[in-house]
């Protein structure tokens, strides 16, 4: 079987397996976000020494006293009670610590509030230069404030800045009342939208994140909202990256220290007694975008330090690799009883994967398909898989497709083939 040129360039070994394709396994695709086929195997536990060596090799600062999170390259300590890191381009999970547990999300809730607001803007039902009235309820809302003036109107653009930069609870209530008529009806919109965008462990009781029984999110869900904000509303994402905002002659800086230091381009922080200090931050480097979520740290300083440390660790230890391009011929499979002796097998989409740094020296790529393929063959039909293996990871299987159609031989041709004289030999 002819070797695959691209695989040779990647330093991998390609072979043909004479086995039937059994579907996609050990494979975390990001289809729900509409991106290219991408994957990273689910985390496997390794010795703690492996994790320490990996951290040392990548110049990531030593971990503070904490407990281990699961990562594809072994346990990695973090002081955060809940943590989740995902590559938003591929959907690959880089770190997971109790990421599907319910937690008090505090002001991370405002990311979901912003998602609904941005949706209204995108459909034209709300406008940035539109003014919304300030009710007494909004004016009296406690916690972090934008300091909206009672009885006056505030522009939607200013309210968004007050919500995401200053973390103003009052701004959130003004937006909710202006859009839905009441905070309660706006919260119903949030809960209705949540499962539509893939949230599985979230329920909202208010638009601010102020403590309330039955109000919760998971770190995984926070990252999912972040992904959707970045993907669905890129025209409004810049609000999360603004470092300061002055309203009513009061200047306030962005509470997200990673944004202030230029280490992230968004999103949000939060704090309550129940949830501790939390953060969701995103950054793009060399074409890779990573989202970091932590919650349950002990102070704003610890939150900032841990967020920076985990962001640096993610970029230092993982990279995205394009293994094959859409339509690229990976192999040629023999065809039985076809007008042509072989059919090209191609990648059905760009195969972009998040892999540990140095994966080329440790990975193995194979093709797995039933041989020979029985004619007729229709272009685009499933014909096996590419199988990627690496130490510490389960096999990742990516579907292959027929790159051309091959008609079945006619009656005479099939007879000759059975006698050993036709193109099916």
Please enumerate in sequence order all residues whose Cβ is within 8 A of that of 330, keeping only pairs 6 or more positions apart, or say none.
4, 6, 7, 14, 324, 345, 346, 347, 367, 386, 400
Q: What percent of the chain has pLDDT over 90?
A: 50
Inter-residue contact 279 to 300 (CB < 8 Å): no
Q: What pLDDT is attached to residue 416?
A: 57
CATH number of the domain that 243 lies in? Answer: 3.40.710.10
Q: Please state the residue numbers annotated as binding site.
A: 268
- Domain identity same for 34 and 117: no
Q: What pLDDT is attached to residue 328?
A: 85
- Domain identity same for 269 and 367: no
User: Which residues pair with residue 285 across a beta bridge?
Assistant: 288
**Of 84-88, 266-270, 354-358, 417-421, which range is least confident?**
417-421
Listed residues 234, 258, 274: the one ending a domain: 274
Domain presence at residue 345: yes
Q: Catalytic residue, from 38, 98, 107, 371: name it.
A: 107
Q: Which of 122-131, 250-259, 383-392, 415-424 has the highest mean pLDDT?
A: 122-131
Listed residues 274, 306, 335: the one ending a domain: 274
- Domain identity same for 251 and 329: no
| Tokens of residue 57, six digits | 């090799």
Q: Which of 60-69, 257-266, 399-408 has the highest mean pLDDT?
A: 257-266
321-346 confidence digits (pLDDT tens): 888 888 888 888 888 777 788 888 88
Length of the chain: 425
- Domain identity same for 169 and 261: yes
Tell me whether residue 56 is exposed, middle or buried, using C-beta atoms within 10 angstroms of its C-beta: 0 to 12, 13 to 18, 19 or more: exposed
- Domain identity same for 12 and 113: no
Domain presence at residue 149: yes
Q: How many domains does the chain have?
A: 2
User: Which residues pair with residue 345 across a beta bridge?
Assistant: 331, 402
Q: Catalytic residue, from 6, 110, 145, 202: name it.
A: 110
Q: What pLDDT is attached to residue 204?
A: 97
Model confidence at 250, pLDDT cuts 50, 70, 90, reads: very high
Domain presence at residue 17: yes
Domain presence at residue 200: yes
Owning domain of residue 179:
106-274
Q: Catalytic residue, from 38, 89, 144, 167: name it.
A: 167
**Of 21-25, 250-254, 334-338, which range is least confident?**
21-25
- Domain identity same for 138 and 212: yes
- Domain identity same for 242 and 331: no
- Domain identity same for 141 and 255: yes
Domain presence at residue 58: no
Q: Is 408 a catalytic residue?
A: no
- Domain identity same for 326 and 218: no
Which among 147, 144, 136, 140 has a CA at the least distance from the CA of 169?
Answer: 144
Which 3 state secondary structure label does DSSP give 217?
Answer: strand
Q: What pLDDT is attached to residue 344?
A: 87
Query: Residue 415 phi/psi, 5° resolution?
Result: -65, -45
Mean pLDDT score of the chain, rounded to an integer?
A: 81
d(CA 278, CA 98): 14
The predicted model scores a pTM of 0.76
Model confidence at 20, pLDDT cuts 50, 70, 90, reads: very low
Q: What pLDDT is attached to residue 417?
A: 58
DSSP output for 315-352: HHHEEEEEEE-TT-EEEEEEEESBSSSEEEEEESS-EE
Inter-residue contact 318 to 355 (CB < 8 Å): yes
Q: What pLDDT is attached to residue 382?
A: 85
- Domain identity same for 203 and 344: no
- Domain identity same for 36 and 144: no
> CA torsion sign, 125 to 126 to 127 to 132?
positive
CATH number of the domain that 389 lies in? Answer: 2.60.410.10
Q: What percent of the chain has pLDDT over 70?
A: 79
Which 3 state secondary structure label does DSSP give 188?
Answer: helix
Q: Is 110 a catalytic residue?
A: yes
Query: Exposed e or buried b for every residue in 82-101, given b needs 16+ CB within 10 A?
Result: bbbbbbbbbbbbbbbbbbee
Domain presence at residue 167: yes
- Domain identity same for 265 and 328: no
Q: Is 167 a catalytic residue?
A: yes
Listed residues 236, 252, 274: the one ending a domain: 274
Q: Please state the residue numbers annotated as binding site for substrate.
A: 268
Domain presence at residue 386: yes
Domain presence at residue 237: yes
């Amino acid at each position: 079987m002819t070797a695959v040129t691209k695989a040779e360039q990647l330093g991998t070994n390609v072979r043909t397996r004479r086995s039937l394709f059994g579907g996609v396994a050990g494979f975390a695709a990001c289809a729900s976000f509409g991106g290219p086929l991408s994957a990273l195997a689910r985390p496997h536990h390794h010795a703690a020494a492996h994790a320490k060596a990996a951290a040392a090799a990548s110049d990531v600062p030593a971990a503070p006293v904490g407990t281990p999170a699961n990562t594809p390259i072994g346990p990695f300590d973090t002081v955060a009670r809940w943590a989740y890191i995902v590559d938003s381009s591929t959907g690959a999970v880089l770190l997971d610590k109790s990421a599907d547990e319910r937690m008090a999300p505090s002001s991370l809730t405002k990311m979901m509030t912003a998602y609904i607001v941005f949706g209204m803007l995108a459909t034209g039902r709300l406008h940035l230069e539109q003014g919304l009235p300030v009710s007494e309820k909004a004016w009296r809302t406690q916690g972090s404030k934008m300091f909206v003036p009672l009885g006056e109107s505030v522009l939607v653009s200013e309210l968004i800045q007050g919500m995401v930069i200053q973390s103003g609870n009052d701004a959130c209530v003004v937006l909710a009342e202006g859009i839905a008529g009441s905070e309660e009806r706006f919260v119903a919109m949030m809960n209705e939208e949540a499962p539509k965008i893939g949230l599985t462990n979230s329920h909202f009781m208010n638009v601010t994140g102020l403590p309330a029984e039955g109000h919760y999110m998971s770190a995984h869900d926070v990252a999912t909202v972040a992904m959707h904000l970045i993907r669905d509303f890129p025209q409004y994402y810049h609000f999360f990256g603004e470092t300061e905002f002055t309203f009513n002659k009061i200047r306030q800086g962005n509470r997200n220290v990673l944004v202030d230091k230029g280490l992230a381009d968004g999103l949000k922080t939060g704090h309550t007694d129940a949830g501790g200090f939390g953060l969701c931050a995103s950054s793009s480097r060399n074409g890779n975008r990573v989202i970091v979520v932590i919650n349950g740290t002990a102070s704003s300083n610890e939150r900032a330090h841990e967020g920076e440390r985990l962001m640096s660790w993610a970029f230092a230890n993982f990279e995205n690799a394009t293994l094959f391009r859409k339509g690229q011929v990976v192999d040629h499979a023999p065809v039985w009883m076809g007008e042509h002796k072989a059919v090209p097998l191609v990648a059905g989409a760009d195969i972009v994967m998040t892999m540990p740094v140095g994966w080329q020296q440790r990975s193995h790529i194979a093709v797995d398909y039933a041989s020979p393929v029985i004619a007729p063959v229709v272009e685009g039909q499933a014909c096996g898989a590419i199988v990627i293996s690496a130490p510490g990871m389960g096999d990742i299987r990516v579907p292959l497709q027929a790159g051309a159609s091959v008609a079945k031989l006619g009656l005479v041709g099939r007879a000759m083939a059975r006698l050993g004289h036709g193109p099916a030999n």
